[in-house]
Chain A
Amino acid sequence: MNIASAGNAVQAAEAVVSPGNERIVEAMNRRYEAGFVTDIATDSLPPGLDEGVVRWISKRKGEPEWMTDWRLAAYRHWLTMHSPEWAKLRIGAIDFQAISYFAAPKQGPKSLDEVDPKLLETYDKLGVPLHERAKLAGVAVDAVFDSVSVGTTFRKELAEAGVIFCSMSEAIREHPDLVRRYIGSVVPQGDNFFAALNSAVFSDGSFVFIPKGVRCPMELSTYFRINAGHTGQFERTLIIAEEGASVSYLEGCTAPMRDENQLHAAVVELVALDDASIKYSTVQNWYPGDENGVGGIYNFVTKRGDCRGARSKIIWTQVETGSAITWKYPSCVLRGDDSTGEFHSVALTHHCQQADTGTKMIHIGRNTKSKIIAKGISAGRGQNTYRGLVKVEKGAVGARNYTQCDSLLIGKRCGAHTFPYIEVKHPSAIVEHEATTSKISDEQMFYCRSRGISEEDAVSLIVDGFCKQVFRELPMEFAVEAKKLLEVSLEGAVG
C-alpha cells in the first residue's frame, strides 16, 4: 500500500490555508486569561516518592493508623502497575520521582477573615463566589488551594440539615467511620495506575454526606486550583447520598500558567443508595499549554459513581476546555434495580491539547437506564477522542442505553475520534449508539452572515447550539461560565 505518498499529498493539502483561516488562527492564539501566579511561600515536600513520603503525608495530616496502612497498601500496589497505554494520547514519559507530593499554604487560616489577602485576590480574579458573593450566589464553597482547604462557608446551614460538607482531611478526623466505610468502595486502591497513585498520596479533597431523606438545601461547590510549580495535586472526593437523599455538586478548575507539565490525578467516588440522586458537574479550565504544546496540566482522573440502591440516579456533566492532556472517564455502575446513569460532556481541544475522555455505563441491576451525550470540538492541532463503554451484564434484564457522540472539527490539522465499546450479555437489552463528525457547514455560516451576524458571533452561536444539550444540564452559573469559556476559545474559528 502506498501510504507514504498519500501522506505527502496530505501535507501539501495542509499547506493551503484559506484567507479566512488566518483570522481564526489569530483569534485562537489568544493568551490564556487565567494565567497568573500567586506568590505565596509553600511548605512543600521535596520531589520524590517512597513509603516515607506516604507516611509523612499521612502523619502531617494527623491521620489514624488504618488510613496510613490504606495508603501504604495502595502505594505497594502502585509499584506493581504500569501507566496505561491504550488511550489515543501521546504522553512523554512522566518522572514520578520528579514530582513533589505535598504542598500546603504556610499560614493555617482558621476562618475566612484570616485567609491571606493574596489568596483571596486570586479567587477574586477567578470569580470564586466566597464571602458575600458566595452568599448572594447561594453557593457553599469548599475552596481547595493547592492541597489544603482554606475556607469553608455555609457549614452551619448545612449542618442544620444534617449535611456534612468538609475537606477530606477533616472528614477522616471527625467522621472516620463514614470515611472508612465508603472510601475505596467505588474506586478501589488498585483500580488503575493513577487511582492507585492517588490513593497513596492524596492530599485533600471534599467529603459530602447527605443523610437519609435529606434534599441538600443548596448546590455544593468546590474550586480546585493548582498553584505551586512542581506540585502534583491529588484530590480525593467522596460523596455519599443515603436513602432518598439528593445533592448537586459543582466543581470548577483553573490554573495559572506554568512551563512544566503538572500532573493531576484525582479520584472522585459517588455512592447513591436507594432512591438517592447525585448530580456532579464540572467545568475544567486548567492551563492547556501554549500553542506549541509546551507545558499544561496532565489530567488523569478516575471518577466513578455507584448506583448502589434501587431507583438511584447519578448524573455526570462536564465541560472540559483546559489541560494539555485529559484522561477521564466518569462512570456509573448501575447496580440497583431501576437505577439511572447519565453522562453529558463537552470536550474542547485546541493547539496541541489532547483529550481521551468518555464514560462507562455498567448495567448490572434490572431495568437500569443510561444516557450518554458527548460533544467534542477540535481546533488547531487538537486531538479529541471519545471512548466509552456500555456493558450489559447477564442479569441486567430490560437494560436500556442511548448514546450520542457528535464531533465538530475546526481546521485542517485537528482530529476527532470515537471509540465506543458495546458489550451486551442479555437479550432484553436495548443499546443504541450514534455518532457523527462534521465541520461547521458553509450553509450554516452563510445563513448567519446573511442575517447580519458577524463571523465570530456566528461561530459562537453555532458552537453554543452544538453544545446546548449538555449546557442545559449544568447549573445556571456554570452554564454561563461554560458558554463564556467556549466563546473565548473559539471566537472567529471558522473561515
Chain B
Amino acid sequence: MSSALLHSLLDDAGQTSGPDWLKQVRVEARTRLLERGLPAARNEAWKYTPLRALESRRLRRVAAASQPVDVDPGLYTLAGVGSPRLVFVDGTLRPDLSDVSSVHGLAIESLGTALERDAQSLRASLGRSFDADAQVFARLNSALPSDGAVIRVAAGVKVEPLLHLVMLGSAGAADAYWQLRNVIELGEGSALRLIEHHAGGQGCSHLGNVVNQYSLHAGARLDLLQLQAAPDSVRLIRRSDAVLDADAHLEMRCVEAGAQWMRHDLAVALQGDRARLVSRGVFVLNGRQHADTRIDVSHQARDTACDLVWRGVADQRARGVFHGAITVCAGADGADALLSNKNLLLSDQAEIDTQPVLEIHADEVKAAHGATVGQLDEKALFYLRSRGIDEAAARSLLTLAFCRIAFDSITNEALHGQLDALLLERLPRAESAADTAQVTG
C-alpha cells in the first residue's frame, strides 16, 4: 500500500553520512517501508489507532536552522531538576540550552558525534532492523538520518545527579516532522536516574518520532521517568526498547499528559536471569486526545519478574488505548509477572479500550493480570462530601489519587508537586480541587 506520508519523507532522503553498514540499514529500511507502507486497519497492533488519517498527509523534515529558534526555558524547566540537562529542539541538539558538565562515569554526546568518534560501538543498537510491519515508525526512524543522545554509564558507577533529557518541538507548521534516536547504555553494576521529558511551545503541531534503546548490563539499575507533556496539538510516536541482562533492574514511570495523538510502544526483554521490570504509568486525556500505550514484556530467562501497574483517565471526547502483553518464553521458569490496568471514564463521549494479554509457554510461572473500567468509589466521594468538600473538587481529588500511583514513589518533593499540578490542570474543575488540595494538603 502506498502512503503519501512515507513517500513525502523518504523521497528526498539524500543525506548519506555515516559508515557503510549504517547506510545499508537505512536503504533496507527505506525499501521495506516503500514496499509495505503503513499497517492496514486489520493489523492487530494498530486496531484501535487507525492510521488512515495520517496516511494521506505529506510531511517535511524540519531542517536544522542556521539561526536557532528562541526557546523559552520555562517550557521544560522542572521543579527540583537541574543539570545535567540535554535539550533537543525539533530533533536537533541545542548545546546552547544544554548543560552537560562533566559527571564522573557518565558520558553524554550527540548521536552524530558518537558516530564520528566510534561508530562500531553503536552498531548493535542502530543496526537493529524492525521486522514487524507494526513497527513501521521505528523502521521509518531507521531509514532516515537522525540525531539523538548517546548516554553511557561506566561499569560500577552510580551516577548521583538526575539527568534531564528534553525533547521539544517548536515548529508551528502542521506538516513538520522530526525524529530522534536515543541510545542509553548502563555498564555492569552501574546506576542512573533519567527523566525523558517531552514538551513544546503552544500551538506547535509537528509529528515527532522518537526511538529509545536502553541496554542494561548485568546488575545495572535505571530509574526512568518518561514525562510526556507535549502541547495538545502535537502528534507523537515513541518506541522504547529495553534489554535487561542478569540482575538488571528497570524502574519506570510514565506520565502521559499531552499530545493530541500519541502512540508509545514499550518493549522490554528480560534476557538475563533475575532481571526485573517495574513499570508504573498513567494517561490523563481530555478534549479529542487519543493515546495508545502498548507494552510488550518478554521473559526470556529464569526467575525474571515484571510488575506493571497502569492507570487511565479519559474525559470529554478522548480515547485511551492500553495494551499490556506479557510473554513467558519456554524455559523461563520462575517468572513472576503481574499486570494491573485500571481506568476511569469521565464522559459518555470518551472511550477506553484495554487489552491485557498473557502468553505463557512455561509452567513454573506465576502470572496474573487484571483490568477494569469503571468509576470513582461512591463511598470515598461521600466521605469527602461529608467533610464539606464540594462534589467536583472531591471527584478531582479522588481522580488525582487514582493517577498518583504512577509516580508516588518519586521522592523528589518538588518534582512530585509539579506532576500533581500538571495532572490536576487536566482534570475537570481543577481550580477548586487545587485549592482544596492546598487547604487539605
Identify the A interface with B (CB < 8 A).
1-3, 6-7, 9-14, 86, 392, 394, 407, 409-439
Contact (Cβ within 8 A) B364 A439: yes
Identify the B interface with A (CB < 8 A).
42, 44, 128, 243, 269, 271, 300-301, 329-333, 343, 345-348, 350-375
A435 to chain B, nearest CB (A): 5
Q: Which residue of B lies closest to A16 (CB)?
A: B331
Pick the residue among B348, B361, B373 that contacts A430 (CB under 8 A). Answer: B373
Which A residues touch B371, using CB under 8 A? 420, 422, 431-433
Which B residues touch A410, using CB under 8 A? 363
29 contacts between A and B (CB under 8 A): A3-B269, A6-B301, A9-B301, A394-B348, A412-B331, A412-B362, A414-B363, A417-B357, A417-B358, A418-B359, A419-B357, A420-B371, A421-B355, A422-B354, A423-B353, A424-B343, A425-B351, A427-B346, A429-B345, A429-B373, A433-B371, A434-B369, A434-B370, A435-B356, A435-B358, A435-B370, A436-B368, A438-B367, A439-B363
Contact (Cβ within 8 A) A412 B363: yes
B6 to chain A, nearest CB (A): 25
Contact (Cβ within 8 A) B365 A439: yes
- Whole-angstrom CA separation of A429 from B128 in the bound complex: 43
Q: Which residue of A lies closest to B350 (CB)?
A: A427
- Whole-angstrom CA separation of A14 from B343 in the bound complex: 39
Q: Which residue of B lies closest to A395 (CB)?
A: B348
Pick the residue among A412, A429, A435 that contacts B368 (CB under 8 A). Answer: A435
Contact (Cβ within 8 A) A430 B368: no
Which A residues touch B358, using CB under 8 A? 407, 416-418, 435, 437
Known: A10-B329, A422-B354, A430-B373. A437 touches B271 (CB 8 A): no
Contact (Cβ within 8 A) B365 A409: yes
- Whole-angstrom CA separation of A419 from B324 in the bound complex: 10
Q: Count how many pairs of residues, one from A and one from B, have CB atoms less than 8 Å apart in the complex.
A: 137
- Whole-angstrom CA separation of A414 from B347 in the bound complex: 43
- Chain B CB within 10 Å — which of A6, A13, A435 has the most? A6
Pick the residue among B301, B357, B375 that contacts A427 (CB under 8 A). Answer: B375
A8 to chain B, nearest CB (A): 9
Beyond A427-B347, A433-B371, 11 additional contacts (C-beta under 8 Å) are A415-B360, A417-B357, A417-B359, A418-B356, A419-B355, A421-B353, A423-B351, A430-B374, A433-B369, A433-B370, A437-B367
Interface majority SS (helix, strand, loop, mixed), chain B: strand
Contact (Cβ within 8 A) B329 A6: yes
Contact (Cβ within 8 A) A3 B356: no
Pick the residue among A1, A6, A409, A420 that contacts B356 (CB under 8 A). Answer: A420
Which A residues touch B331, using CB under 8 A? 6, 9-14, 412
Contact (Cβ within 8 A) B333 A13: yes
- Whole-angstrom CA separation of A458 from B105 in the bound complex: 57
Which B residues touch A9, using CB under 8 A? 301, 331
- Chain A CB within 10 Å — which of B128, B355, B366 has the most? B355
Pick the residue among B271, B348, B365, B375 that contacts A1 (CB under 8 A). Answer: B271
Contact (Cβ within 8 A) A13 B359: no
Known: A6-B300, A6-B301, A423-B351. A433 touches B360 (CB 8 A): no
Q: Which residue of B lies closest to A421 (CB)?
A: B355
Known: A415-B361, A433-B371, A439-B363. A422 touches B330 (CB 8 A): no
